[in-house]
Amino acid sequence: MASLRLDGLSHRTLAPVDLALAAGERVFVSGPSGSGKSLLLRAIADLDPHQGEVWLDNEPRSRMAPPVWRRRVGLLPAESFWWAETVGAHLPAIQASDPDFERLSGRLAGLGFEPDVLDWSVTRLSTGERQRLALVRLLAQGPAALLLDEATANLDPANRDRVETLVETYRGEQKASVLWVSHDPEQRARLGGRAFVIRDGRLEPET
């Protein structure tokens, strides 16, 4: 359970942003291509140069080691990076008898996969499969806040719904704050909550 707060956060294309997400709150961000949506998420994740501060509850990013921050504030990029040969090599090593294995199997099943997907070669995965499995990989780290960059952009409606359900389940169970970049107005309307748009380098409430 953690709130997420941006204090004067800015990067080379975005004016300073002040934004607070309560623990368990989901907030959408949209905007034209190139407006700086992905750069905003990368700045929050401390992956790109930026100004300002980000807080997870009462802990500032500047006082945490970058690897610790990125585990606690997890970024799902629009295009995931895979470095090992198999899917399972990207996930924590757990045995079938471990309680975490049941949780992992449940998430895989919720996204339409059997446990044997862990033995699959990454090279056989489609773009959509990589996108869904990247979410499983992210959630396995137990982040307190999620930064989602077009998490369903390449998915058909059935798999889009599966991803939305998994994110909402995780958000509800963990009371994780979720900042979700989405170009889909129907998705934003369907899931509801606060929504913002980046216009001319500024983050404004979506109307």
Predicted local distance difference test score (pLDDT) of residue 75: 98
Instruction: Supply the pLDDT for residue 96.
Output: 64
Round to whole Å and give the CA distance between 136 and 101.
12
Domain boundaries, the chain: 4-80+132-205
| pLDDT attached to residue 97 | 63
Measured in degrees and rounded to the nearest 5, phi and psi for residue 131 equal -65, -45
CATH number of 4-80+132-205: 3.40.50.300
How far is it, in rounded angstroms, from Cα 6 to Cα 4? 7
Largest CA distance in the chain: 53
Provide the residue-wise pLDDT of the chain in tens; the chain has 207 residues.
789 999 999 998 899 999 999 999 999 999 998 899 999 999 999 999 999 999 999 999 999 999 999 999 999 999 999 999 999 999 887 666 677 888 999 999 999 999 899 999 999 999 999 999 999 999 999 999 999 999 999 899 999 999 999 999 999 999 999 999 999 999 999 999 999 999 999 999 998
pLDDT of residue 92: 81
List the structure tokens of 1. Answer: 């359970």
For residue 12, which amino acid is it? R
